[in-house]
Amino acid sequence: MSDRDDQVERAFREEYGRAVAVLVRAFGDIDVAEEAVQEAFAVAARQWPQAGPPPSPAGWIITTARNRAVDRLRKESGRHDRHVQAALLHARDEPAEEGPVRDDRLRLIFTCCHPALAPHARVALTLRLLGGLTTDEIAHAFLVPAATMAQRLVRAKNKIRQAGIPYRVPAAADLPDRLRAVLAVIYLIFNEGYTASSGERLVREDLCAEAVRLGRLLAELMPDEPEVWGLLALMLLIEARRPARTAGGELVPLAEQDRALWDRALVEEGQDIVRRCLGWGRPGPYQVQAAINAVHGDAPSVGETDWGQIVQLYDLLLTFTPGPVVALHRAVAVAEVDGPEAGLTLVEGLEVTGYYLFHAVRADLLRRLGRDGEAARAYDEAIACAGNEVEREFLRRRRATLRGT
C-alpha cells in the first residue's frame, strides 16, 4: 500500500465517525449520512492516490459527502417522497448548536441511545455509525453471528424512521436515562481499538484515542456521575499498558510485560480517579473494573500483585454484571491465588465456547498443569476462534512450546 493509499485509510479511521455525525445532524437521516460519507471516501480512494490528499482531509470528506447527499436527495425528490423532502428541508434549515452536548459525535451517541430502541440495538447502531466498525466487528463484540447483528442494525434504523425518533440533542434531564448505553458504546469502541477483532493489527490507536476523548468529554458533561469517571479511569489504566503490550510486533501478555514501559502518568491519573470514586460510595461495574486495573498498576511485578484483592473485586463485579465473561476473568485470578487446578475447575463450568479467550485461558491452565495434549487441543480451538492475526500468532507460539507438539 502506498503512502497516499494509507492516507485514505487513516482518514477513514480517524474521521468516519465525525463525518457521519455531522451529516446526520445536517440531514436528520442515518442512511443518507452513511451512504454519503461512504461515497465521499470512495471518491477519495480514487483521487487522493494520484492528486494527493487535500490540506484538510476531514473538511474535504464532510464537504464532499454533504454535496453528494444533496445531489442524491434532489434527484430523488422528483418522486414526491415525503422522507426525501423532509431530509432536504432539514439540510437547508440546519439547526444551530444547542443543548448541553456540543460535540457532534457525543451528541450522536446520545441520540442513538434513545429509550425507544432496544439496549443492544442502541449500542450496535452507534458502534456502526461512530466507530466505523463493520458488522462483523460489532458481532464479535456482542458474541453473536454476523447475520444476527446485520438484522439488528436494519431493525434499529427502521425503528428510528417508523417511530419518528428526532435527531436532536437530548435535554439535560434526559441524559442520565441514556447514560448506561452511552457508557457501553464508548467502552466497546475502546475495546475494539485496544484489541482489533480482525485483521493483522493488534491495536487501532485511533479508536482508543477517540474513546478516551469521548470519555473525557462525558466527564465534563456529567461530572457528578461516578460511573462516567469509572469508565474514564478504566480506559486510562488499560491504555497505560499499551507501550509494553507488544515487542517486535508480537503480543506480550500482562504477566510478561516490562512494567517500566507503562505510561506512569496515565496510571497515576487513573488511580487518582479510582480514589475519587471511592469517596462517592456509589460503586458500579466500570468503577470496579477500574479498581481491578488499579491493583495491577500498583504492583511492581506480576508476582507482587494482590490477587486476593482482585478476586474480591471480581466477586463484587459479578453482582453488577453476572455472566460467563466476568466469571472467566475471575477464574484467572483464582488460579493465581489457589493454583491452576482451582482455576480450571471454574473455567470448565462456564458456557462461552465460541469465545476465543475461554479456550486460550483453558489452554494456559492445562499447560501449567502439564496436561499438554489437552492444552494443544484447547489452543487449536482458541486459534480457530481468534479473529486477530497477532493474537493467533501468540497462541501458535504458546502451542509450539508444549511437549510432543
Position 80 scores a pLDDT of: 52
Position 205 scores a pLDDT of: 85
Judge whether residue 98 has pLDDT over 70. Answer: no
pTM score: 0.80
Instruction: Give SS3 for 96.
Output: coil
CB 391 within 8 A of CB 385: no
| Grid coordinates belonging to 338 | 489457589
What average pLDDT does this structure show over 339-354? 92
The Cα–Cα gap between 164 and 179 comes to 22
Look at 21-35, 100-114, 252-266, 271-285 and tell me which has the smallest mean pLDDT. Answer: 100-114
Q: pLDDT digit string (tens) for 279-335?
A: 999 999 999 999 999 999 999 999 999 999 999 999 999 999 999 999 999 999 999
- Based on the number of CB atoms within 10 Å of its own CB, is 230 exposed (0-12), middle (13-18) or buried (19 or more)? buried
pLDDT top residue among 129 and 220:
220
- Give the chain's mean pLDDT: 86
Whether the CA torsion 48, 49, 50, 52 is positive or negative: it is positive
Position 5 scores a pLDDT of: 58
Compute the CA torsion angle 196, 117, 86, 37 (nearest 10 deg). Answer: 0
What average pLDDT does this structure show over 25-45? 87
Position 348 scores a pLDDT of: 95
Judge whether residue 211 has pLDDT over 50. Answer: yes
How many percent of the chain have pLDDT more than 90? Answer: 48
Q: Read off φ and ψ for residue 404, nearest 5 degrees.
A: 75, 10
What average pLDDT does this structure show over 104-128? 80
